[in-house]
Structure 1
Amino acid sequence: MKKQFPNALKDPIFRVISRAASKLDLETYVIGGYVRDYLLNRGESKDIDVVAVGSGIDLANKVSKLLPGKPKVVIYKTYGTAMLKSAGIELEFVGARKESYSEDSRNPSVEYGSLEDDQNRRDFTINALALSLNESDYGNLLDPFNGFEDLQKKIIRTPLDPDITYSDDPLRMLRAIRFATQLNFQIEQQSLDAIGRNATRIEIISRERIIDEINKILMADQPSKGFALLHKTGLLPLIFPELVALQGIEEIEGQRHKDNFWHTLEVVDNIAKTTDNLWLRWAALLHDIGKAPTKRFDKKVGWTFHAHEFVGSKMVYKLFKRMKMPLNEHLKFVQKMVLMSSRPIVLATDVTDSAVRRLVFDAGDHVDDLMTLCEADITTKNPKKVKRYRDNFRKVREKIVEVEERDHIRNFQPPVSGEEIMRTFGLKPSREIGIIKEAIKEAILEGDIPNEYEAAKNYMLKKGKEIGLEVKNQQ
């Protein structure tokens, strides 16, 4: 019995495409993510893939002529595709094709084919589902691989032999894990085993493509599922050996440390509940990577990870550079979060004004993100400890608000400028200016003087006298 879903095609754009296809005498179908997401009730996607048995470019041009304003068609001749935007919807048109691959590239040789050829080349059965836009069977579901059943069973499965599918285009291994994570599906066992067998093929994929998939895994509701699958299949050591190095528990003289790998995944899941900030989620993923190289056993104190935050922040730069991630403010943000990740934890046991001022001074506008990261770092299963930690962090947050309202430390600018110090003491650029500026800053952070001009100016005069300077021009 044929399955029909005409309501999936109620947007007027589909009738326009159907009419254009009829004029060109082209079989035409909506395929892929739009169909999948509609059947999963994930809402109607604004990205629509249209496949024509013939020229997708010709169809795009015809659709454009039938639409109000004749939207511009962007053509990619190399791939035989065309795109246009209309009423907030992005349409991609492609001719049905069959593909063949060489061993050293994921870019296939392409030739025109049938709809069946096109469905055969799709990565997963749930992405091979197509809805007809043809007048004779408008809204019919074409499902040669039982993708509809896989949707209902929540299974990720390849249409053809998974070893061939993953070897041909190894990016599909990451896509399988990403879809399983995003949709909370299971990867069929044969397919999962094939990912393990073909893991090393990931080396032919560009790092930018890899990171694009990792970002999508990180932005899922429960990212740990994806990273656990990456680990299980052997992909993680090839992408992020720094994370794998955290795994394991050692015991010496009856003293053990926690498994920092699985702890990290818990932290990422925790932070995913509270923020959609991709880079804060990256900070959660990388906050402990310095623990593997700094792990030591001391007979007096047990396991230590001295300076792991500093070492980790340096490792963040190397990882970003290796994976061709942005070496800009996003990198600096993640580095700062990793470097400061333990500060609020230490502070929570003794919430002094001066310590909070220093925290706000160092974290600046990111102090709230830092607190969010530290709260996510609570992974103990002891309810009493959880309550104590949360209460402590609540006190820190309250103290941050109180100190900030009173002392205005965030984005601190010294009340007395270097130019005023030079005029006052008749100095040229010199070491003494830095000494006085640093002394004023320290006095404010310690609470010895308020963060106000008159107090800072008087302190400048006092400090200048201490280091043997004479006032030349007191305004």
Structure 2
Amino acid sequence: MTVNTPDQVEIVMTPMAVEETKPTFLQKARTWTLAHKRAVAAIGAVAVIGSVLAVITTNTSLSSVFGASTGANGAGICYDSTENPNDLERHFGIIKQKYASVRTYQVTYGGKNMIDVAANAGLSIAVGVWISGGDWSSELQAAIDGTKRHPNSVKAIYIGNEELHKGWGAGAVIDAINKGKSAIRAAGLNTPVGTVQIDGDFLRNTAVADACDTIGVNIYPYFSGPESIKDPMGDLKARWSAITSKWGGKARITESGWPTGGGDYNGHVSSYDNAKSYYNNFNSWASSNGGDITYYFMFKDVPNKGGYEQNFGVADNQGNWKFDSAPSNPTSAPTQAPTPAPTQAPTQAPTQAPTQAPTQAPTQAPTQAPTPAPTEKPTDKPTDKPTDKPTDAPTQKPTDKPTDTPTPVPTTETTKPTTSTPEPTTNTPEPTTNTPELTTSTPESTTVSPDFNNSTASNSTDSNSTSSFSSGSFNSSEEMTTVSNSNLGNPVTNDGTTTGSSGTKTGTTGTTSTTNNNGKTETLNENNANTGAADQSGSGKSTISYVLGGMALVGVCAVAVLVAHNRRKNQMLDEEKDIFMTNRDDSMAVLQTRKSAIASYCPIILRMKRKCDSMAPTTPTLVLTAEEQKLFTFLLDVDQQKATGLTLRVAGGWVRDKLLGRESDDIDIALDKMTGAAFAELVNSYEAQHGHATHSVGIIKANPEQSKHLETATMQLGNGWIDFVNLRAETYADDEAHRIPSMEFGTPLQDAQRRDFTINSLFYNINTGMVEDYTEKGFQDLADGIVRTPLEPRVTFLDDPLRILRAIRFASRFEFKLEESLCSTLHLQEVKEALLKKVSRERVGKEFSGMLTGSSAHPDRALSLLLEYGLMDCIFTPPAGILLNGKAASLPSDVWNQSIACALAMHKLLVNHDASRVETSSMDEVALNRFKLEILAAALLPLAPYTVLQKKKSIAIPYAIIKDSLKLRAKDAEDVGNVILKSADRFKTVKLDRVAVGLLLREVGNLWPICINIAFVSETTLEGAPIAASSTKYNALRAFIHESKLDNVWELKPILNGKELIAALELPPGPAVRVMQERAIEYQLAHPDASREDCLAYLKLNK
């Protein structure tokens, strides 16, 4: 069998090699010998621990030994001010019971300084300064004052919380940090100053972290992708490692948590069991990781929030700790009554075992059985492996804390299942610490075929099933919940019984029976394990009874260890055989996710693992929206019923944006052995065959001379337009000067190498649900924030010179760095000439407009990069025959420096001195175009005095550039070239007179605000006028316009029409009437309250 890899390396395995992978009896015997040695060691360790614990229980209640975790040593908790400020002291007193520190999101609440309240309660504090509500000077001063009073209590001062996620630019956040740090240092304080952001935002904006003394990092596996469902702690550790590898000890975790209810997110189940499991595991790990002190989110439930957002508390709304004991359940078996917490009455002991087992044995056993999540529904079989297809989960958290990390998720190491037999009162954890699996909501099938006529979707696709985009609704299949038994991986039935071939645990009140592999039954009298309560009341049980009870419990654990180990061994041996019998895609997927565990059993797979390390890496499936899932399932239906045997891939920007946590509707489908036009016809044939409306197909022809190499078919499916193209490979003629390629069908690797940048060369394989990186650089460059070409930059740019401008746009949009060799290539005159000669001006204009107003645009950075690499001539290409005052002239050598300086000044003015970013995605079309015109007009301001003669008419250079070099709308050229720039100088000198200002506004219409801004930029940037004086001057002009009610003066009509003027003034028809109408307007501007008669009398006197 041959396993084909993306980098074209073949691993050939003969039938003999396959046969050799089957385990022999001797191999099994050796494995069992090792298993017994491990089991004996485990029994000895657990026996000693059990005996010691039994002795301890002579004088200590079981609840104190096996109680819930109280947090890591020195751990902290988050506190959000949402209720009565009079409760602050009481809440902080409760927090002090379990935690050493508190993190807040603001300094003052209800007139109280939280630093004072924390210090008085004996807590240290990481205090947040809230900066999202406008002026935050008073917040900052309160932080300084409180820190001066309690310098030893303040761990850090954090300026803001998740502003990058809220849409702030990196520059704005850095400015806020520097402002806070300057004020704090000026007050003589050395307290560390930083900010709190989501981990992915720090990694995408490293300058923010670099500006801090300390950084607070928020990491939530609950809001991560599907890969974190099986191993949330693995997800946490991998993401924390990415942070510490860059910033080391200056980082600490400031938020992480799991809700106890309120609905699921992206397959992550919010339940008491899962929340407690994550809480205990997080605290255990954080005791030596996560920074000098970690903060868990959060102290108590917040009822005024919705869904799971209100259930992140480790205490309920009344401040009662949730995880000291499980919630009361009247059907539970009787157990020892827990010791009441200071703020909580004792919980009534349940009378019966819970109807649903937790997904794993907790790190420390609770004193009573936990109540199952009411929304969970067990299925008939456990889910042992992650699914290959995503469920229709939301792609964004509808609140403040989504975590979208751009870094590829690392392959998690398969851990040995925790093996323990839970008792109604106590659980003895296995000595080995393992990260538990949480309860997950898993669909019955990983492939969902949409059914547009029924409320649920079919779990399989047959020849009669149909799907169409003619329907206006989409219903996903009903999901079933699988609850994993942590002991043996067997399902849990509705009556609370765990079934499986290895043993049975029945929820009786008196005994626990476990059947081992030899059919022998061991019974543990649970009353012996519950005698701690009697001892507490003085019944006088001897120490030896606890030793014997502990040893009996150890015996049960030992059996569970042996059973679990045997099951796991057999499972691994089966997998090592099955892996060679699957197809290439399945083999790669299994190897990538389980290679470490399987390799330990099979030397051949170990060699494949090493080879796999050099193959194209893949990540687990992306999180799809319902519309995306519907589209991809539909396309697979077309492929299956037409029997094309295609592999369908989404290529380019959609994959990149998905990995960056951004939504995208730009879906390009790449086909491996069919043209886009041919597949589009198959789509229509499929629709017609099933009685659905067909779709019009647009064909965008290839135009190699304009560097448009690939024919594209486009059609509307659902709510968006989809492009279909084939994977391409290009060959060139010997004439290097022309480089016009001939197109051929290519492999995914060849196609990826022909794309513009590695971050755009990623594929989402619809057939397998995996992301593919054939260049082996896409994931890493996306994580590192680097724009790099797959091939040598000169080759890539000459292939399509527009990529020069695309590199600038992506670097500015994502705040990425340009790779070093790419930067050098941008300076080559050869590639600049190719951009001027080979690319249509329409494409250049569209790309430049995207730099100004595209999604998450950073016009300031884009313009600066264009200037740095000498590309302004390639965009603002001036026409020949330039004139100045009617005489031949040339543009000044520093004209582009002046141009960019004016554009940056305008950008800063528009975003209220936050020069890093303007969020244009929230603007409507009118506001978006106005913003573009202002930046464009400012950039062309230094060229305003120059003209060119076209068709015997004098044309302003800015007009010619917009119309001919950028091919933008003729109205844009008219507005900028003939109105804004020509009128700006008049706004510099206009007097604050109602007539003068009114007449000027009537000339420029609704463009007057842009004209004032251009006048301000011209004065302060080109003429060197003081900014303060110019600001005062133009603010006064704006105020005068508003106070004089001239905002819409261009809509003012003459109080007397033409016929009335002709009759009253005895005027002949013609220009004289127009002159009198203008005089009437002047009179109306001077006398806004005058009547028709007053105006007529004035005109008669001034005829």
TM-score range relative to shorter protein: 0.7 to 0.9
> Measured at CA, do residues 201 and 366 of structure 1 come closer, stay the same or move farther in structure 2, by a change above 3 Å?
same
CA contact (8 A) 2:812 2:862 kept: yes
Q: Deviations over 1:201-259 (max 9, x none)?
A: 1122211111111111122543132223223323222432569946649xxxxxxxx96
Instruction: Please give the residue correspondences for 1:261-276 in structure 2 after superposition, counting only pairs within 5 Å.
Output: 261-270=899-908, 273=911, 276=928
Query: Conserved in 1, the CA contact under 8 Å of 2:758 and 2:787?
Result: yes
Q: Which of 614, 622, 645 is the equivalent residue of 1:25?
A: 645
Q: What CA deviation, in whole Å up to 9, does each residue of 1:261-310 have, x standing for no partner?
A: 342132342255376322233222223323689xxxxxxxxxxxxxxxxx
- Structure 2: distance between partners of 1:162 and 1:332: 38
- Equivalent residue for 1:48? 667
- For residue 130 of structure 1, report the CA deviation from its aligned partner: 0.5
Aligned-pair CA distance for 1:175:
1.3
Following TM superposition, by how much is the alpha carbon of 1:110 offset from its aligned partner in structure 2, in angstroms?
1.3
Pair 147,97 (structure 1): closer, same or farther in 2 beyond 3 Å: same
Per-residue deviation, residues 49-98 of structure 1 (Å, max 9, x unmatched): 11111113343344452699444141528444322222212211111111
Distance 1:376 1:144 in 2: 46
Contact 1:199 1:234 in 2 (8 A): no
Q: What does the per-residue CA deviation read over 1:306-331, in whole Å, with 9 as the maximum and x for residues that have no partner?
A: xxxxxx98222222343262463222
> In the alignment, which residue of structure 2 is the partner of 1:306?
none
Q: 1:234 to 1:139 in 2, by over 3 A?
A: same
Q: Where do residues 390-405 of structure 1 align in structure 2 (5 Å cutoff)?
A: 390-404=1031-1045
User: Secondary structure, in 3 states, of the residue corresponding to 1:94?
Assistant: strand
CA contact (8 A) 1:365 1:411 kept: no
Looking at structure 2, the residues matched to 388 and 77 of structure 1 have their Cα atoms a distance apart, in angstroms, of 54
Gaps of 5+ in 2: 1-591, 593-616, 703-710, 880-889, 912-917, 919-926, 948-953
Q: Which amino acid aligns with 1:133?
A: I
CA distance in 2, matches of 1:452, 1:112: 79
| Pairing 1:213–2:847 present | yes
Q: 1:182 to 1:104 in 2, by over 3 A?
A: farther
Match of 1:131 in 2: 764
Residue type at the aligned position of 1:285: A
Contiguous gaps of at least 5 residues in structure 1: 250-257, 294-311, 465-475
Q: Specify the alignment match of 1:303 in structure 2.
A: none
Distance in 1 between residues matched to 2:619 and 2:753, nearest whole Å: 22
Offset, 1:29: 0.9
The structure with more helix, counted as a fraction of residues: 1
State yes or no: 1:352 paired with 2:997: no
Can you list the C-alpha shifts for 1:430-461, whole angstroms capped at 9, x where unaligned? 4543443343344444x267565333222221
TM-score between both structures, scaled by the size of structure 1: 0.79
Q: Is contact 1:357-1:403 (8 Å) kept?
A: no
1:340 aligns with 2:974: no
Conserved 8 A contact 1:271-1:281: no
SS at match of 1:29: strand
Tell me how far apart the structure 1 counterparts of residues 936 and 955 of structure 2 sit (CA, whole Å).
12
> Following TM superposition, by how much is the alpha carbon of 1:365 offset from its aligned partner in structure 2, in angstroms?
2.2
Aligned residue among 728, 742, 745 for 1:112: 745
**Relative to structure 2, which stretch is displaced further, 193-202 or 218-227?**
218-227
**Alignment RMSD (CA, Å):** 3.4
CA distance in 2, matches of 1:454, 1:105: 76
Contact 1:74 1:82 in 2 (8 A): yes
Corresponding residue for residue 317 of structure 1 = 959
CA distance in 2, matches of 1:77, 1:410: 44
Partners of 1:264 and 1:285 within 8 A in 2: yes
Separation in 2, partners of 1:83, 1:26: 18
Determine the C-alpha separation between the residues in 2 that align with 1:262 and 1:212.
Answer: 19
Q: 1:122 aligns with which of 755, 764, 769?
A: 755
Taking structure 1 as reference, are residues 167 and 313 closer, same or farther at Cα in structure 2, changes over 3 Å only? Answer: same
Within 2, Cα distance between the matches of 1:124 and 1:354? 57
C-alpha contact 1:96 1:113 (8 A) present in aligned 2: yes
SS of 1:7's partner is coil
* C-alpha spacing 1:285/1:418, structure 2 compared with 1 (3 Å): same
> What amino acid does structure 2 have at the position aligned with 1:53?
D
The residue identity in structure 1 corresponding to 2:800 is D
After alignment, is 187-196 or 229-238 more displaced? 229-238
Quote the residue 2:898 is aligned against.
Answer: 260
From 203, 208, 226, the equivalent of 2:862 is 226
Q: Higher mean Cα deviation, 101-110 or 415-424?
A: 101-110
Q: Is 180-189 or 74-83 further displaced after alignment?
A: 74-83
Alpha-carbon distance change, 431 to 144 in structure 1, aligned in 2, over 3 angstroms: closer
Q: Secondary structure in 1 aligned to 2:870?
A: coil
- Matched-pair contact (CA < 8 Å) for 2:875–2:966: no
Q: Which range moved further: 370-379 or 325-334?
A: 370-379
Confirm or deny: 8 A CA contact 2:621 2:770 kept in the other structure: yes
CA contact (8 A) 1:97 1:118 kept: yes
- The match for 1:12 among 621, 627, 630 is 630
Q: Which amino acid aligns with 1:263?
A: A
Residue 720 of structure 2 corresponds to which residue in structure 1? 89
Counterpart contact for 1:84–1:92, Cα < 8 Å: yes
Read off the aligned partner of 1:16 and give its amino acid letter: F
Q: Give, in whole Å, the separation in 2 of the partners of 1:266 and 1:247.
A: 19
Q: Secondary structure at the match of 2:646?
A: coil
Which residue identity does 1:402 align to in structure 2?
E
Aligned ranges 1:159-178 → 2 under 5 Å: 159-178=790-809
Does the 8 Å CA contact 2:946/2:957 hold for their aligned counterparts?
no
Does structure 2 conserve the Cα–Cα contact (< 8 Å) formed by 1:181 and 1:226? yes
Q: Give, in whole Å, the separation in 2 of the partners of 1:104 and 1:458.
A: 78
Distance of 2:1056 and 2:739 partners within structure 1: 60
**Using the alignment, how far apart are the partners of 2:738 and 2:861 within structure 1?**
29
d(CA) in 1 for partners of 2:894, 2:836 = 26
Cα deviation, residue 334, structure 1: 1.4
Aligned partners of 1:47 and 1:234: how far apart in 2?
31
C-alpha contact (below 8 Å) 1:364/1:410 kept by paired residues? yes
Count of residues in correspondence between the two structures: 428
Q: Rg larger in 1 or in 2?
A: 2
Please name the residue that 2:110 is paired with: none
State how far apart, in whole Å, the 2-side matches of 1:318 and 1:429 are. 38
Asked whether the equivalents of residues 247 and 260 of structure 1 are also in contact (C-alpha less than 8 Å), the reply is no
Mean Cα deviation higher: 392-401 or 104-113 = 104-113
Q: Which secondary structure state, in structure 2, belongs to the residue aligned with residue 429 of structure 1?
A: coil
* Partners of 1:138 and 1:430 in 2: CA distance: 75
Question: For 1:455, which of 1094, 1097, 1101 is the aligned residue?
Answer: 1094
Bigger mean CA deviation after superposition, 34-43 or 6-15: 6-15
Q: CA deviation at 1:391?
A: 4.2
The residue type paired with residue 818 of structure 2 is I
SS of 1:410's equivalent in the other structure is helix
Matches within 5 A, 1:158-197: 158-197=789-828
TM-fit CA distance, 1:155: 1.1
- The correspondence for 2:970, drawn from 305, 328, 345, is 328
Change (3 A) 1:140 1:121: same
1:410 aligns with 2:1062: no
Q: Is the 8 A contact 1:313 1:339 kept in 2?
A: no
Once the two structures are superposed, residues 146-165 of structure 1 have per-residue CA deviations (whole angstroms, 9 ceiling, x without a partner) of: 11111111111111111111
User: Quick one: distance in 2 between partners of 1:399 and 1:338?
Assistant: 22
